[in-house]
Amino acid sequence: MTELIEALNPPVADRGTGSVRTGTPVSRVDGRAKVTGQAKYAAELPAPDLAYGVVVSSPAAKGRIVAIDTQAALAVPGVVEVLTHLNRPKIRSFDIAYKDMTAPAGSPFRPLYDDRVMYSGQPLALVVAETFEAARYAASLVRFEIDTEPHGTKLSANLERAYKPKPLKAGYEPPPDEKGNTDAAYAQAPVKIDAEFYSGVEHHNPMELFASTVIRDPSGHLTIYDKTQSSQNSRWYVSHVFGLSKNKVTVRNPYVGGAFGSGLRPQYQLTLAVMAALHLKRSVRVVLTRQQMFSFGHRPETVQRVKLAADNDGTLRAIWHQAIAETSPIEDYVEVVVNWSGMLYQCDNIKLDYKLVKLDHYTPIDMRAPGAAHGVHALEVAMDELAWELKMDPLALRLKNYAERSPVEDKPYSSKELRACYELAAKKFGWDQRPLNPRSMREGTELIGWGMATGVWDAMQMFARASAVLHADGKLVVSSAATDIGTGTYTVMAMIAAEALGLPLEDVTFQLGDSTLPVAPIEGGSSHVTTVGSAVAGVCEKLQKTLFKHAKALSHSPFANTRFKDVEFTGGALRLKRDPQVALPLAAIMNDSGVVRLEEKYLMLPNMLKQRKFRRLVHSAVFVEVRVDEQTGVVRVTRVTSAVAAGRIMNLKTATSQVVGGIVWGISQALHEETYADHRLGRFMNHNYAEYHVPVNADIHAVDVIFAEEDDRIVSRLGAKGVGEIGIVGVAAAVSNAIWHATGKRLRSTPMTPDKVL
């Protein structure tokens, strides 16, 4: 039985919202709770007798702890305990216990496990006190003596150690085998380019700090409010690491203040908070500082090389794309960087290569459109370079080589309205007015440039369960252990259910964010709508059928001789499609049948046999205008037009917001974000909001999002493909290409800061 869990306090639409159709713009049902502070985040949940933990991080990048001095810390009034690897409670030792659902190949990090220091910023101790202030002060007094060893954190100095990773990660596809003979085709072609690209480390900076509040009840049961993209992933992890059975641990994440990859894996504050709660037998909260959020994963530093060759008419003859990225000593973090270069353009000779180098940092982690954000960047800047070599319009070059089937594997696309994206966005942007030559447009001290790029991302579907309970008063509660990181899950799932049963939106509650709810995947890979949405549609269809059966069985039923395909659910009633006046309100059906509640459950399994026959992607075309100040090198992105083909759009407003957010992050990747390491210390240095730059309002100007019409029933029964990540892909390339068009200077490393532009 899946009843409403009071503590989750799921949001519902305002009274009077009424019926809404999927595809229309609908405001987030959680919006009011979030902006008024009613939504409670992991660090905010109250608990009686709560202790506060503060993490002490390693100052050294590599070595062994030889001595720990906790005396001064323990002497601080209010300090309860200092946990280190010497006195922590028992945790499991074997690798598999630490493998969360998204772990790559290797041996996951085990917090406070032993005396080994593997990276700067590694958590070495947890100070627990009666107040946060006492814990924070005491944490500054803990001293470690570390026997240091030489470390290596510089990718460029270690490229010769690159190796091919093991492809063991859910959802990861290694590069395909070579198609044709790329080297020979490259050698023979009349027009070619060969370019190297660099993308620096980027760190996650969601507004909400990473936090876990572990509430221990007298029986020993742990209810954990965790900042995560999957309550069930965190529950699974805690159970395995500490050997606690499933019914001893509940994880909740009803509200998440941004994540986009940082919450895919359980982070160490969760492990440490549980450790302290078990050790002290009381409730414990651990919140990481902004600085400490630079110590649990990042978008990996990556070097790439792209060679393209074409005939004089622009026909592509060779695509060669190589990437070398960093990973940690313990795990092979893999992402799809180069494969996109074999999915976008028709070409007979394609060679793709991806390697890793182990550096003494923590394992990198997914960040919005992992792999594509910088992999497609390199390809799309290279395409722009090739277009200039050919003296061809960059859009015309893309259209010339438009792929009707996925080139390397020679598979059809499940759907591909990229051509419509190019046309819609180019028209809206006014691309046909673009002069071919760089340095052709200026206004005052600013050079103006126009650039474009293609974007691509996967259209994935995983499996999920959903349950639905319809009450006699017409209220519907639909449940799945999904997550809403601010992307609109609550809203879209409620819309799907409300439309299916013809109910006003405010009568539908979608509850998510609790590990005891029906199984749902992590909120990642832009797959929540295709996956959880399809489960919601499935469970609602079961409810429809049950209601219909009850309606037919009523005496004098107007539906006695009707088939299911001839009815619809609108305006709170079951109706005949061809004569909507013939209707029975849902409440009346239940009442007259003597049922007070109807419950259905549904398991949504993707049709993998069918899906496998197709390459399933979302696409975009991004057009950008930049203005570059000739004296200062400051770049302003003054206009962005992005057209996206992502299947059926379920909520125009939240989908648009996703793409706008992706574009903002793309501008950030292009111009602002980079974490710099001091390689002598092996440490990321600009780990704060003052020195780690992200765009502010003044950096973002006109952003225009268009959706190309697309409906893909191979990816999901809803026709949707997902919009979470596509917005960022290609944006930085379009900015780079626009900077070249403005200035004549080709920039191949991100971020494109004024020193590089000048």
Nearest distance, CB of residue 343 and ligand MOS, angstroms: 18
Nearest to 41 by CA among 30, 52, 56, 49: 30
For ligand MOS, which is the closer residue by CB, 58 or 527?
527
525 binds ligand MOS (CB under 6 A): yes
- CB-nearer residue toward ligand MOS: 321 or 368: 368
Site string for ligand MOS, 106-125 (x = CB under 6 A): --------------------
Tokens of 474: 């017409």
Q: Which of 98, 137, 242, 260 binds ligand MOS (CB under 6 A)?
A: 260
Helix pair angle (586-593, 534-553), 10° resolution: 60
| 395: its two tokens | 């859009």
Is position 385 annotated as part of the catalytic site? no
In the numeric block, which tokens belong to residue 558? 């107007």
Candidate ranges 48-56, 134-142, 248-256, 362-370; the one touching ligand MOS (CB under 6 A): 362-370
Binding of residue 366 to ligand MOS (CB under 6 A)? yes
Phi, psi for 174 (deg, rounded to 5): -70, 160
Residue 619 contacts ligand MOS per CB under 6 A: no
| 455, 486, 524, 661: residue in contact with ligand MOS (rule CB under 6 A) | 524
Instruction: State in angstroms the smallest separation of the CB of 526 from ligand MOS.
Output: 7
Range list of β-strands (E), 149-221:
191-199, 202-203, 211-216
Stretch that binds ligand MOS, among 360-368, 402-410, 436-444, 733-741 (CB under 6 A): 360-368
Q: Which of 355, 588, 371 is nearest to 474 (CA)?
A: 588
Q: Which two tokens stand for residue 515?
A: 């590990």
Residue 367 vs 468, nearer CB to ligand MOS = 367
And the tokens for 105? 């190949």
Q: Can you give the C-alpha Rg of the chain in angstroms? A: 27
Q: Tell the smallest beta-carbon distance from residue 323 to ligand MOS (Å).
A: 17
Kindly state the smallest distance separating residue 258's Cβ from ligand MOS, in Å. Answer: 10
Q: Which is nearer to ligand MOS, 81 or 484 (CB)?
A: 484
Min separation Cβ 369 and ligand MOS, Å: 7
Closer Cβ to ligand MOS, 260 or 450, answer by number: 260
CB 253 within 8 A of CB 8: no
Catalytic residue (one of 380, 446, 673, 725):
725
Q: Annotate 618-672 with three-state secondary structure.
A: EEEEEEEEEEEECCCCCEEEEEEEEEEECECCCCHHHHHHHHHHHHHHHHHHHHC
Minimum CB separation of residue 668 from ligand MOS in Å reads: 15
Nearer to ligand MOS, 288 or 372 (CB): 372
CB of 260 to ligand MOS, least distance (A): 5
Report residue 137 as tokens.
């002060």
Which range binds ligand MOS by CB under 6 A, 198-206, 259-267, 321-329, 435-443? 259-267
Footprint of ligand MOS on 367-386 (CB under 6 A): 367-368, 370
Binding span for ligand MOS by CB under 6 A among 133-141, 365-373, 582-590, 665-673: 365-373
Q: Specify burial of residue 699 (Cβ count, 10 A radius: 0-12, 13-18, 19+).
A: middle
Choice between 264 and 418, CB closer to ligand MOS:
264
Between residues 53 and 370, which has the closer beta carbon with respect to ligand MOS? 370
Only segment of 6-14, 189-197, 258-266, 634-642 that touches ligand MOS (CB under 6 A): 258-266
Kindly state the tokens that stand for 201. 């480390």
How many residues touch ligand MOS under the rule CB under 6 A: the total is: 10
In the window 261-290, what residues touch ligand MOS (CB under 6 A)? Answer: 261, 264
How many Cα neighbours within 13 Å face the side chain of 512? 33
Give the up-direction half-sphere exposure of residue 544: CA atoms within 13 A in the CB hemisphere: 23
Where are the extended beta strands (E) located within 379-532?
405-406, 411-412, 441-443, 446-458, 464-471, 476-479, 508-511
DSSP state string for 10-28: ---PPTT-----TTS----
Which residue numbers are catalytic?
A: 725
Note the residues at the interface with ligand MOS (CB under 6 A): 229, 260-261, 264, 366-368, 370, 524-525
